Structures are given as C-alpha cells and as structure tokens.
Amino acid sequence: MRAAIPIPARAPVLALAGLGVAATVALLLGVPVDYVAVVAGVLLALGFVLAGADLWQSLRLWRAAPLRIERNLPGAFSLGVPTVLTLTLVNEGAQAWRVSVFDELDTHFAFEGLPQEHVVSALSRVAIRYTATATQRGVAQFGATQLRWRTRLGCFEVRQTLGEPRRLRVYPNFAALARYAWLSGDRRLAQIGIKTYAQRGLGTDFRQLADYKTGDSLRHIDWKATQRQRRPIVREFQDDRDQCVLFLLDCGRRMRADEGALVQQQANNSHFDEALNALMLLSYVALKEGDEVGAMTFGCPPEERRDFAPRKGSATLNALMNRLHDIQPGATHSDYLLAAQELLRVQKRRALVIVLTNFRDEDAAELRPAIKLLRRKHLVLVASLRERVLGRIASQPLVHARDAVDVAAAHLFEQSRRDAFARVVGNDPLSVDVEPADLAVALVNRYHAVKRAGLL
C-alpha cells in the first residue's frame, strides 16, 4: 500500500469560497476592515483546525483497519471479447467508509462501469463489477487499484493505492475455435461454412474392421476376417495422419491493414488478427486429425522472428499461441524468397506450407519465385487477404458522377490483383484470395480437401 494523499473535498472548498465572498460583501457594505479581518481569520482558523482534526482522526482509524482489495482477474483475455471483472472491497474494521474506486487498466482496454462510488459498511464486503474489452493482443499491464475514501467529516478525500500490478496475456479470439469444437460434435459445421464429408472408406490409413453395410465398397472386404467371423467384414480407413502443416506468417507492412473504421462492422479485427484467428482454428483442426503443426514468421527484424517447430499433441495449440499471441506486424517489407529459403533449410520433411499474406499485384515478381522454390519439395497453399472496402466501393450505387470513377477504379484494382494472383499461383486450386473474415473457413475447407485427396 502506497502513501495516502489527502485532497480537499468539494464542501470545504465551497465553504472557503463562501467565506471569501461574504468578506468581500461585508467590505463593500462598509463594515470596518479590522472587524472583517478578525471574523474571517477566526472562522478560517476554526475551519483549518476542524479539517486538520478530521484528517488526523480519519487517518488514525484507517491505519487501524484499512480496506483490503481482492481483484478477480482471468488467466488471459481474448481479443475483442468483453470480460466482466470483479473487485471486492473488504472492510474488517468497525467504521464505514465512503469510497470511489477506479482500476488501473492497460491503455489497450476499453472499459465500462468505472469509476464507482460505494459505502462499505463495517465488517462487510462490497463486490464491484465492470466490463473490460481488450483491443490489442500481447501482454497487458494492470496497475494497482486507485481508491478515494472520504474522511469522517467529509473535509478531505484521501487517494490510496491498493493491490499489486499484474501482467496478463491477450490472445486471439477463441470464439471461432470454441464454436468449431461445439458444432463438430453436433455435426453442424455447415452453419459456419465448413464442408463435411462421409468418412467411411476414405483415406489410406487403416482404421478398423467393421461389419459390412449397404453401400460399402466390395474391394474393402477383408476375406480372411469374413471367413473367421462367418459374416461380411470390411476394412475402414481414415485420412492420412502424422503429416505436417506449417504456417508461413507474413509480419510485414502489408499485414498492418485495418479496415475496422471503414467497413463499420462489429468485429473490427485487423488483417493480421484475422490471420492469427485462422491459423489457430486450422491448427486445432489439424491437431485433432493427428497431424503436426508448426509456424514460422517472416517480414520482421531477425530478433523479432518467432519459429515454432512442428509437433503434435493436445498441448501444442496452447504452446503455439503462447509463442505467437503478442507478435505485431511491422513496417518493413516482406522478403518472400528469403523466407522460402529459410523454410527449406529447417523443414526437410514434406509438409503442407500455408503462406498467410496480404498480396498486391506489385508483389507478384517476388512471390512467384518463392512459391516455385517451395513447391519443389512441399505442397504450398497461398492464402491472401483481400480488402473488404474494395468490394463495398465496387458495389456502391452510382449517385453522383464521381461515384462512377470510384467504382471503375475499384474494379480495375480488383481485376489487376486477381490477374497477378493467378500468375503467381498458376492453376493451383488450393490457394485462396478471400476477405479476412472468410479466411478461417476457407483454410479448413482446403485442408480437408488436401486430406481427402491424399495430396501430401
């Protein structure tokens, strides 16, 4: 607990101002100066004595039994998700206190419900709830709790700092991941645009023996098991497992695009945040399918690079998010060819390489040789984020003459971008060029297509 800082309350300040006004009026009415000075001096002295006694007595009572703060914070925050936080003021003394409470939040938090004023009765607890919403990923700094308590006679408000600062992590939004897990259990993935396919007889990895059912392929009948069991038995297969999915995440200036204020949507994630959301969702899906997941970043200074070696297991997703949750795109240019060379140096085993970037037509000359180099050994999927605002401009009504110029320019830019993207990826049906909000679903569908076709 830090030192208490007394601040004059509103009432004594108004009383002092009133005394000054009264003295001025008395002088204007012709009251002798000596008389006014004596009366005002006596009243002022009495006021100072009263205020000093009030402050001394209140500090003595506070130090004998100060309020205690209990702050209930989550282990981590999700980006853009409102979280209800609870502060509990505990009064273990015999005196009631009128307090005003404000919690020191990180500057990258929006909040509602602060400050709050409460009367904390003797031997009681008061729970204070407010809502905080993280607006940026990374490490959040929560300071101590600021408390202003009023002295017994109300002459002062004393500023007190309670509790200890804490550092918490802000992760990408888990909503898509949680919804996928719930919908997959209920077989309703089509609600979020993810295609589902029947699994019987697909894949190349043997799964189990099962009784023959109408529609099963005759070529999957296991004749030896059929003879032993004296009923038709078929071999069931599953998608290939123990494969590798490796993300190549662009952290350069292209990924700094943020259209939240332009498109005026409720979820105003930047392109980079949407890319992380998609990375997290596909990582969950791939790990659930028994594959390895890894990641490499590029387009940032060497000291800020984040590499995550491919691995599998239930703890992999948490480890991956702890590695990437606080990374931010920089202002540097992304060197696609250098990133491809570095990936080939460290990743010897064939993998599904997913390049997450924000492609522009002027990047074609650099991205094309990088993709060609990667395809010598790996299966490559280029996932590019397309600006939402361009579609809105291209589809806007032609109200004024200048609107025609805007619409034509948007169509020209989009066509140029599509042509350049087609030149880079060639006839590759896996690569996608979608708006940020559609990226996660598109990647999961492409991953399922790769597994179903056995391309790895």
Q: Which of 19, 42, 64 is the last residue of a domain?
A: 64
Pair 410, 423 in one domain: yes
Pair 224, 300 in one domain: no
Pair 413, 286 in one domain: yes
Q: Which of 32, 49, 64 is the last residue of a domain?
A: 64
pLDDT band (50, 70, 90) for residue 236: low
Q: What is the DSSP letter of 264?
A: T
pLDDT per residue over 113-171, tens digit each?
Answer: 888 888 888 888 989 899 998 888 888 888 888 888 888 888 888 888 888 888 888 88
pLDDT score of 263: 46
**How many independent structural domains does the chain possess?**
4
Q: Could you give the angle at which helices 271-288 and 175-185 cross, rounded to 10 degrees?
A: 30
Question: Residue 161 sits in which domain range?
Answer: 68-170
pLDDT band (50, 70, 90) for residue 433: confident
Pair 280, 386 in one domain: yes
Query: In this structure, which amino acid lies at residue 1?
Result: M
pLDDT score of 200: 42
Pair 301, 246 in one domain: yes
What whole-number distance in Å separates Cα of residue 230 and Cα of residue 369?
59
Neighbours of 352 (CB within 10 A): 23
Pair 263, 115 in one domain: no
Is residue 264 scored above 50 in pLDDT?
no
Write phi, then psi, for 406 (nearest 5 degrees).
-65, -45
Mean pLDDT of 283-303: 88
Mean pLDDT of 100-108: 87
CATH assignment of the domain containing 120: 2.60.40.10
In a domain? residue 308: yes
Pair 275, 359 in one domain: yes
Residue of higher predicted confidence among 75 and 377: 377
Per-chain mean pLDDT for the chain: 81
Helix (H, G, I), strand (E, B) or coil at 375: coil
pLDDT score of 218: 65
In a domain? residue 1: no
Side-chain-side CA neighbours of 439 within 13 Å: the count stands at 31
Is residue 261 scored above 60 in pLDDT?
no
Q: 87-91, 161-165, 262-266, 404-408 — which one is most confidently predicted on average?
A: 87-91
Q: Which residue has the tokens 């202002």?
A: 331
Write phi, then psi, for 314 (nearest 5 degrees).
-70, -25
Pair 256, 211 in one domain: no
pLDDT score of 342: 92
Pair 269, 225 in one domain: no
In a domain? residue 5: no
Is residue 215 scored above 70 in pLDDT?
no
348: which 2 tokens? 């010897």
What whole-number distance in Å separates Cα of residue 360 and Cα of residue 352?
23
Helix (H) or strand (E) holding 68: strand 68-72
Helix (H, G, I), strand (E, B) or coil at 426: coil
What whole-number distance in Å separates Cα of residue 440 and Cα of residue 265?
18
Pair 300, 230 in one domain: no
Is residue 294 scored above 90 in pLDDT?
yes
Is residue 278 scored above 50 in pLDDT?
yes
pLDDT band (50, 70, 90) for residue 424: confident
CATH assignment of the domain containing 432: 3.40.50.410
pLDDT score of 199: 46
Is residue 444 scored above 90 in pLDDT?
no
Is residue 103 scored above 50 in pLDDT?
yes
Q: Identify the CA nearest to 229 among candidates 221, 237, 220.
A: 221
Is residue 201 scored above 50 in pLDDT?
no
Pair 212, 252 in one domain: no
In a domain? residue 256: yes
In a domain? residue 147: yes
What whole-number distance in Å separates Cα of residue 435 and Cα of residue 444?
15
Mean pLDDT of 279-290: 87
Percent over 70 (pLDDT), the chain: 87
* Number of residues that make up the chain: 456
Is beta strand 233-238 parallel, antiparallel or unpaired with respect to 352-357? Answer: unpaired
Is residue 182 scored above 70 in pLDDT?
no
245: which 2 tokens? 């999915």
Q: 11-15, 187-191, 256-260 — which one is most confidently predicted on average?
A: 11-15
In a domain? residue 4: no
147: which 2 tokens? 């408390």
Mean pLDDT of 358-380: 87
In a domain? residue 2: no
Helix (H) or strand (E) holding 311: strand 307-311
pLDDT score of 206: 55
pTM, two decimals, is 0.70
pLDDT per residue over 22-76, tens digit each?
Answer: 888 888 888 788 887 888 888 888 888 888 888 898 888 888 888 888 888 888 8
Helix (H) or strand (E) holding 393: helix 388-394
In a domain? residue 333: yes
Contact 77, 168 (CB under 8 A): yes
Pair 315, 366 in one domain: yes
Q: 35-44, 205-214, 244-253 — which one is most confidently predicted on average?
A: 244-253
